[in-house]
Structure 1
């Protein structure tokens, strides 16, 4: 089945070049050129991945990203000339799955699109039948429903991104295991780890801000300095 992509890019030359190249790779693309068009277009159809520029007219890319994440866990790959670490970290913090800075290789872009869609497909959970009993994962005050991608802390639901959900699920499923950053990256991103600690750090910090009373003194996901992370007390 042909994957359906939404390209949100204000430069007609870049958007046309990307759409044509990805069409040759077997993808169907819809293109919009400003932030105000982006969300209505996203909600009007079903997309497998979003390619999002940050420097958009009318509504900036970070706000578009935030609004899409209110509705969907669809993979989002940021395309931007703003290639510094702050913008990359902000994009990941707002819920993006990957980031590629302009100018970029179309071959690399196609590979990242394929990898993002593959990861989303591998982690997709089929809808439970009416005969299925709900199966919750629990640790202390945390409850996780893997079938419906929901997490509660006590009686309050916690909204997690797809990557945050996968990280927490991994720890709760293996409560005694210590994970290095390389192990986390391989398990959650399903790719080899090449030492980019920023991706892990941003997602871990964001997850702790959502589940911990005091993120600077975490109770649930502990840091073992020089080693990695584990669930709960050492």
Structure 2
């Protein structure tokens, strides 16, 4: 039996190619996804104003306002997952799309099975983020090793009660670690969790910001007690963490 429409994730596809819009609608629709396909950014805005959308598939090359501009505008006001499509394989396009806020990138022509796998992965990740966001919203502060991070006020105090200044990126990374203590977090997971705190944290800056964070919370940054490197896997926050509700 098919899933009820209301239970299906809603995908909004934006592409000026009618054949591709039909393909996306039919194929994803046959795989328990509800698809609305439009040809322009203006039509996208109409759909977003009327309905809840769980993921946007966005062509980079559109007449008028292109996909890069639309992605930037979407990301300024929403964390909705964005999968960008393009007929060009240049690395510069991929990097620009991802830095503007796209979550994944697929080059045309693509296989429908790969498209479906990427869509499902993005939807799972968004659901995981929503679950963590719900948990974080209930926490006023985190305590670890005598330290306290006040989430609402975005303030960190050391064991002597002194305030430690954090940048937005450092705060978001520390909050990401504290909501998942003693779990190995890969860079992409840290990026996802950091976005819950509205920080502009990019993959290439994570190592630098972790180094700076270590200098602020570690007695010996060269031999860290809290933020440990897991070679080839990511980072782990190795401390008992007490959430304050």
Using the size of structure 2 for normalisation, the TM-score is 0.63
Show the counterpart of 1:13: 19
> Gaps spanning 5+ residues in structure 1: where?
191-201, 209-214
Alpha carbons of structure 1 residues 66 and 186: separation in structure 2 relative to 1, 3 Å: closer
Following the alignment from structure 2 to structure 1, what is the Cα–Cα distance between the partners of residues 32 and 210?
48
**Paired position in structure 1 for 2:67:** 61
1:141 deviates by 11
Q: Any unmatched runs of 5+ in structure 2?
A: 1-6, 157-163, 193-200, 216-220, 223-228, 237-245
Partner of 1:204: 203
Partner of 1:219: 212
Following the alignment from structure 1 to structure 2, what is the Cα–Cα distance between the partners of residues 9 and 63? 14
> Offset of 1:29 from its aligned partner?
0.8
* Pair 1:106 & 2:112 matched: yes
Q: Which residue of 2 aligns with 1:184?
A: 186
- The one of 84, 90, 96 aligned to 1:90: 96
Kindly tell me: are residues 187 and 58 of structure 1, through their superposed partners in 2, closer, same or farther at Cα, counting changes over 3 Å? Answer: closer
Determine which structure has more spread, i.e. the larger CA radius of gyration: 2
Q: Distance in 1 between matches of 2:133 and 2:175?
A: 18
- Tell me the CA shift for residue 38 of structure 1: 2.3
Q: Residue 45 of structure 1: CA displacement?
A: 1.3
Q: Is the contact made by 1:54 and 1:80 (CA closer than 8 Å) also made in structure 2?
A: yes
Secondary structure at 1:77 match in 2: strand
Check conservation: 2:24, 2:35, Cα contact below 8 A: no
Cα deviation, residue 113, structure 1: 0.7
Deviation at 1:118, TM superposition (A): 1.0
Contact kept? 1:32, 1:38, Cα under 8 Å: yes
1:54-79 Cα deviation digits (max 9, x unpaired): 10111011110111112211111111
Tell whether 2:36 aligns with 1:30: yes
Instruction: Call closer, same or farther: CA 1:2–1:125 in 2, change over 3 Å.
Output: same
1:182-201 residue CA offsets vs partner (Å, 9 max, x unmatched): x51575599xxxxxxxxxxx
Structure 1 position 172, deviation (Å): 4.5
Q: What root-mean-square deviation, in Å, do the aligned CA atoms of Structure 1 and Structure 2 show?
A: 4.4
CA-to-partner distance for each residue in 1:29-61, whole Å, 9 max, x for gaps? 111112233233223310111101110111011
TM-score (norm 1): 0.65
Cα-to-partner distance string for 1:92-147 (whole Å, 9 max, x where unaligned)? 11111111111100011011111110111122138869xx96423489998645xx
Local SS of the residue matching 1:87? helix
- Aligned residue for 1:52, secondary structure, equals strand
Q: 1:135 aligns with which of 140, 156, 160?
A: 140
How far 1:217 moved relative to its partner? 10
Asked if 1 retains the 8 angstrom alpha-carbon contact of 2:141 and 2:148, the reply is no
